[in-house]
């Protein structure tokens, strides 16, 4: 198998691990910033690497449309194209396709148009595998059907079952025409918020014995409580000796809850997306940089952070950059937020190694949420 | 005097020099990127420094409006606020104020509103000096009246004479309430495109024996030919032992023409502004990154450039970033363009030192303009 996973320590359900691939190793639990179109938004890859990022998530659907997987392949693959020496995971495009208006789903795949005048396109498990092979990611994802939240039981069941059939087609394409010696395929568990569907999906996905297994269909608006509930009745059916990847999660509190539930890998646009909206994460909670209270604030964004944005600039300067519409504000806030998430995960890994993850999570949230609660009262 | 200027070599009219201030030294001729609002656009200051930038131009008018000079002063001055260890020049705000619609000019100063509902503001030489003192730049500019191109002789004469009276008021404010031991004041020569006005302005400005002298009112649409003509009848009246700063210039061909005419310092938004529009400068001419010809181009932007953008990325990737609307495209193109200008100036300084500036300029333009000419034929 091209990807191996070692569990180095277990603390409750939380796991400290190491994913090894031909590209190198990833210390888990890991949070992966998102480079949808083959670029982190407002963040050069060197900055992400210096912040401690080990892996990025790119998207097969977006890169298929622009610039095309053939082009990326002819230029040496995605790592070289985007100058990223770490790991790359590509998502299959399932989530994106099902978010499109007027997409039609058949057993064959998903039909859609890009824009009102776009050519009709048909995404199938086989096409998704071919795209991801040519992009050259280290980990590729099966083509799944991700349903909205909430979804009626019958539709969730139908989509979950189709996802399993598409997983089998994804697996066959990966083995027969892909490069399983270079790329590890992960299956995706679906089933919305229904325990029996999640169980069935998890068991059937696990039975394929793939290098890793993902939980999809969460972080679609269900909230932390429901997410934790779903993880509670899904994780027990996932193999312990495979990395478990929770897709699209989340806020710091979601990330910690997922680690506590035994998740090893996560990705989310939140750190970079919030940064561009002028929201930064700090040990003492979220901070809206356009808030007038920071106008004269000479302190760094987070007094406990060692990132270059915190080392060299004041909150007042960042406030000014956002008031003045300067791109540098997006860059520095993104740099800080990614570093914040990386530090959060470093702390989580250390805590698991020392058997004190529950205390780490509690202590972090107590300080972090004090301010959020205050903000909620004020706002 | 807080600023000294040494001429290290002369080659025709071109001068190799060194400006020394309490902040350090600047090798001239120098090109200064523009950080209007206290930030280079899409470029962290570290990247500018690594590209060879020695000095930046910020703007008293913009920083007065946002975040206010008092705030910048209370946070330790502009160098600290924006994390720039090199030199900073602030422009007086004259150029910006006169670009506003409905501004009214009296002997006292310029009245204007910011936006239709803004409070009325009055900019005077004294206010401009006070703002620039509090911002804490190393070099500050007198408050001048910059006229549009073309301008009738009588108005150009009137504005030039008012600029001289305002220069005297700027100088008095600088000496009596400013920090002449820390900040060097430069006067600005005006007179539009009229030789006798330029001569009168140059001689009267030079007579004040200020640390440096600037040529304003160019790069306002007159074109390279007229600009060169104006420099031809202005430069002979500027003191040889003071740095000569040509404001707002320009394209690479303008910059080289100015150096040839004996200019020591220049600033312009072009490298960063063009970058954000997807236009990069290379040894073989300008390149529009959204052009389809770069879609599959595996070469770096400029094969002779050592900047990180050229070292790590292909034209195809930059093309993709602009097609995909990724901010990283702005960042990498800005990084490259600033480096291109810095390399152009390094080459110019070396050529002057070796007495071969004319050949340097000719050889550069021959390769650089071949492509521009071709593009003009095609486009």
Query: Bridge partners of B78?
Result: none
Interface test mutation site (partner B, options A328, A329, A331, A333, max chain B beta carbons within 10 A): A328
Is some CB atom of chain B closer than 8 A to the CB atom of A204?
Answer: no
| Cα-trace Rg, chain B | 20
Q: Within this chain, do residues B169 and B264 fall inside the same structural domain, yes or no? A: yes
Q: What is the pLDDT of residue A101?
A: 84
Task: Give how many domains chain B has, as a whole number.
Answer: 2
Q: Within this chain, do residues B286 and B158 fall inside the same structural domain, yes or no? A: no
Q: What is the pLDDT of residue A131?
A: 98
Interface test mutation site (partner A, options B64, B65, B294, B331, max chain A beta carbons within 10 A): B331
Instruction: Find the mean pLDDT for residues B333-360.
Output: 98
Q: Within this chain, do residues B241 and B291 fall inside the same structural domain, yes or no? A: no
From B41, B62, B83, residue closest to A312, measured CB to CB: B83
Cα–Cα dist A307/A289, whole Å:
17
Strand-strand pairing, B265-267 and B30-32: parallel
Q: Could you tell me the CA-to-CA distances from B154 to A17, B97, B157, B231 in Å, in that order?
A: 79, 21, 5, 21
Tell if the CB–CB gap between A296 and B326 is shorter than 8 Å. no
Q: Which two tokens stand for residue B267?
A: 């600033």
> DSSP string spanning A80-91?
HHHT--SEEEEE
Tell if the CB–CB gap between A320 and B44 is shorter than 8 Å. no
Q: Examine the fold and report which residue of A268, A300, A322 is the final residue of a domain before the chain moves on.
A: A268
To 5 degrees, how large is the angle CA A72–CA A74–CA A79? 45
Q: Within this chain, do residues B25 and B133 fall inside the same structural domain, yes or no? A: yes
Q: Within this chain, do residues B224 and B291 fall inside the same structural domain, yes or no? A: no
From A62, A66, A321, residue closest to B39, measured CB to CB: A321
pLDDT band at B375 (very low <50, low <70, confident <90, very high): low
Tell if the CB–CB gap between A308 and B46 is shorter than 8 Å. yes
Tell if the CB–CB gap between A296 and B82 is shorter than 8 Å. no
Q: Within this chain, do residues A244 and A294 fall inside the same structural domain, yes or no? A: no
pLDDT band at B101 (very low <50, low <70, confident <90, very high): confident
Virtual torsion, Cα B354, B358, B359, B364, nearest 10 deg? 110
Q: Examine the fold and report which residue of B268, B289, B307 is the final residue of a domain before the chain moves on.
A: B268
Q: Within this chain, do residues B146 and B64 fall inside the same structural domain, yes or no? A: yes
Cα–Cα dist B339/B316, whole Å:
20
Q: Is B174 helix (H, G, I), strand (E, B) or coil?
A: helix
Q: What is the pLDDT of residue A374?
A: 58
Please name the residues between 308 and 337 in chain A that touch chain B, using a CB distance below 8 Å: 308, 312-314, 316-317, 319-321, 323-324, 326-332
Tell if the CB–CB gap between A324 and B295 is shorter than 8 Å. no
Decide: A257 and A249 in contact? Cβ < 8 Å: no
B328 neighbourhood in chain A, CB within 8 Å? 39-44
The rounded Cα A164 to chain-centroid distance in angstroms is 21
Q: What is the pLDDT of residue B290?
A: 96
Cα of B43 to nearest chain A Cα, Å: 7
A81 neighbourhood in chain B, CB within 8 Å? 314, 316-317, 320
Note the ipTM here. 0.96
Tell if the CB–CB gap between A298 and B40 is shorter than 8 Å. no
Per-residue pLDDT tens digits for B78-94: 999 999 999 999 999 98
From A44, A75, A295, residue closest to B316, measured CB to CB: A75
A-B Cβ pairs (cutoff 8 Å, strict): 106
Q: Within this chain, do residues B257 and B363 fall inside the same structural domain, yes or no? A: no
Is some CB atom of chain A closer than 8 A to the CB atom of B273?
Answer: no
Q: Please report which residue ranges of chain B form alpha helices under DSSP H.
A: 45-50, 60-65, 69-74, 78-82, 94-99, 125-135, 153-177, 195-206, 223-234, 252-260, 270-276, 308-312, 315-323, 327-353, 357-378
Q: What is the pLDDT along chain A (379 residues), one digit of tens a residue?
A: 689 999 999 999 999 999 999 999 999 999 999 999 999 999 999 999 999 999 999 999 999 999 999 999 999 999 999 999 999 999 999 888 888 888 999 999 999 988 888 888 999 999 999 999 999 999 999 999 999 999 999 999 999 999 999 999 999 999 999 999 999 999 999 999 999 999 999 999 999 999 999 999 999 999 999 999 999 999 999 999 999 999 999 999 999 999 999 999 999 999 999 999 999 999 999 999 999 999 999 999 999 999 999 999 999 999 999 999 999 999 999 999 999 999 999 999 999 999 999 999 999 999 999 866 655 543 3
To 5 degrees, how large is the angle CA B44–CA B90–CA B87? 55
B319 neighbourhood in chain A, CB within 8 Å? 67
B63 neighbourhood in chain A, CB within 8 Å? none
Cα–Cα dist B68/A112, whole Å:
52
Per-residue pLDDT tens digits for B235-252: 999 999 999 999 999 999
| pTM for the whole structure | 0.97
A312 neighbourhood in chain B, CB within 8 Å? 83
Cα–Cα dist B181/B207, whole Å:
20
Q: Within this chain, do residues A321 and A350 fall inside the same structural domain, yes or no? A: yes
Interface test mutation site (partner A, options B40, B49, B83, max chain A beta carbons within 10 A): B83
Task: Please tell me which residue in A138, A264, A267, A302 is annotated as part of the active site.
Answer: A267
Active site residue B144: no
Q: What is the mean pLDDT of chain B?
A: 96
Nearest CA in chain A to B77: A317
Nearest to B215 by CA among B253, B182, B187, B257: B187
> DSSP string spanning A186-229?
EEEE--TT-HHHHHHHHHHHHHT--SEEEE-S-SSS-HHHHHHH
From A39, A71, A323, residue closest to B296, measured CB to CB: A71
Write out A174-188 in H/E/C secondary structure: HHHHCCCCCCEEEEE
Instruction: Find the mean pLDDT for residues B86-104.
Output: 91
B332 neighbourhood in chain A, CB within 8 Å? 44
To 5 degrees, how large is the angle CA A345–CA A346–CA A352? 85
Is some CB atom of chain A closer than 8 A to the CB atom of B179?
Answer: no
Active site residue B102: no
Q: What is the pLDDT of residue A119?
A: 86
Please name the residues between 70 and 89 in chain A that touch chain B, using a CB distance below 8 Å: 71, 74-75, 81-83
Please name the residues between 235 and 264 in chain B that touch chain A, using a CB distance below 8 Å: none
Q: What is the pLDDT of residue B379?
A: 31
Q: Within this chain, do residues A256 and A283 fall inside the same structural domain, yes or no? A: no
Domain containing B180 equals: 4-268
Q: Examine the fold and report which residue of B240, B268, B296 is the final residue of a domain before the chain moves on.
A: B268
B67 neighbourhood in chain A, CB within 8 Å? 295, 316, 319-320, 323-324
Q: What is the pLDDT of residue A117?
A: 82
Task: Please tell me which residue in B254, B267, B302, B343 is annotated as part of the active site.
Answer: B267
Tell if the CB–CB gap between A39 and B326 is shorter than 8 Å. yes
Q: Within this chain, do residues A334 and A235 fall inside the same structural domain, yes or no? A: no
Cα–Cα dist A354/A362, whole Å:
15
A195-207 and A153-177 helices, crossing angle to 10°? 10
To 5 degrees, how large is the angle CA A198–CA A202–CA A205? 135
Please name the residues between 126 and 165 in chain B that touch chain A, using a CB distance below 8 Å: none
Q: Is the pLDDT of residue B100 over 90?
A: no
Per-residue pLDDT tens digits for B110-128: 999 888 888 889 999 999 9
Contacts 24+ apart (CB under 8 A), A121-124: A123/A61, A123/A93, A123/A94, A123/A97, A124/A169
Q: What is the pLDDT of residue A356?
A: 98
Nearest CA in chain B to A299: B75
Q: What is the pLDDT of residue B372?
A: 61
Q: Within this chain, do residues A53 and A132 fall inside the same structural domain, yes or no? A: yes
pLDDT band at B197 (very low <50, low <70, confident <90, very high): very high
Q: Is A36 helix (H, G, I), strand (E, B) or coil?
A: coil
Per-residue pLDDT tens digits for B156-169: 999 999 999 999 99
Nearest to B297 by CA among B282, B307, A127, B306: B282
Q: Report the CATH number at residue B140.
A: 3.20.20.105
């Amino acid at each position: 198998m091209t990807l191996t996973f070692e569990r180095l320590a277990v603390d409750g359900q939380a796991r400290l691990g190491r994913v090894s691939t031909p590209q190198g190793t990833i210390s888990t639990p890991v949070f992966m910033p998102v480079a949808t179109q083959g670029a982190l938004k407002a963040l050069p890859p060197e900055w992400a690497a210096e912040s401690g990022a080990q892996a990025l998530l790119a998207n097969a659907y977006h890169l298929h449309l622009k610039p095309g997987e053939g082009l990326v392949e002819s230029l040496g693959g995605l790592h070289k194209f985007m100058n990223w020496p770490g790991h790359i995971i590509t998502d299959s495009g399932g989530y994106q396709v099902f978010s499109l208006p007027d997409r039609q789903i058949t057993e064959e795949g998903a039909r859609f148009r890009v824009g009102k005048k776009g050519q009709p396109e048909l995404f199938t498990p086989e096409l998704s595998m071919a795209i991801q092979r040519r992009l050259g990611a280290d980990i590729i994802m099966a083509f799944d059907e991700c349903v909205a939240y909430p979804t009626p039981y019958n539709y969730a069941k139908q989509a979950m079952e189709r996802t399993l059939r598409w997983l089998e087609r994804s697996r066959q394409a990966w083995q027969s025409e892909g490069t399983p010696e270079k790329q590890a395929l992960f299956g995706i568990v679906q089933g919305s918020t229904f325990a029996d569907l999640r169980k069935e999906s998890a068991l059937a996905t696990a039975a394929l014995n793939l290098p890793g297994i993902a939980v999809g269909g969460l972080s679609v608006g269900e909230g932390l409580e429901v997410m934790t509930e779903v993880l509670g009745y899904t994780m027990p059916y996932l193999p312990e000796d495979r990395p478990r990847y929770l897709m699209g999660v989340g806020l710091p509190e979601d990330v910690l809850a997922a680690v506590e539930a035994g998740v090893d890998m996560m990705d989310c646009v939140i750190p970079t997306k919030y940064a561009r909206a002028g929201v930064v994460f700090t040990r003492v909670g979220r901070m809206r940089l356009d808030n007038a209270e920071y106008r004269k604030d000479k302190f760094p964004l987070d007094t406990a952070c060692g990132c270059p944005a915190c080392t060299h600039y004041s909150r007042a300067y960042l406030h000014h950059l956002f008031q003045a519409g300067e791109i540098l504000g997006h860059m520095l806030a993104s740099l800080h937020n990614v570093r914040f998430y990386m530090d959060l995960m470093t702390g989580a890994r250390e805590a698991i190694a020392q058997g004190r993850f529950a205390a780490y999570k509690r202590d972090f949230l107590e300080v972090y949420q004090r301010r959020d609660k205050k903000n909620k009262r004020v706002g």
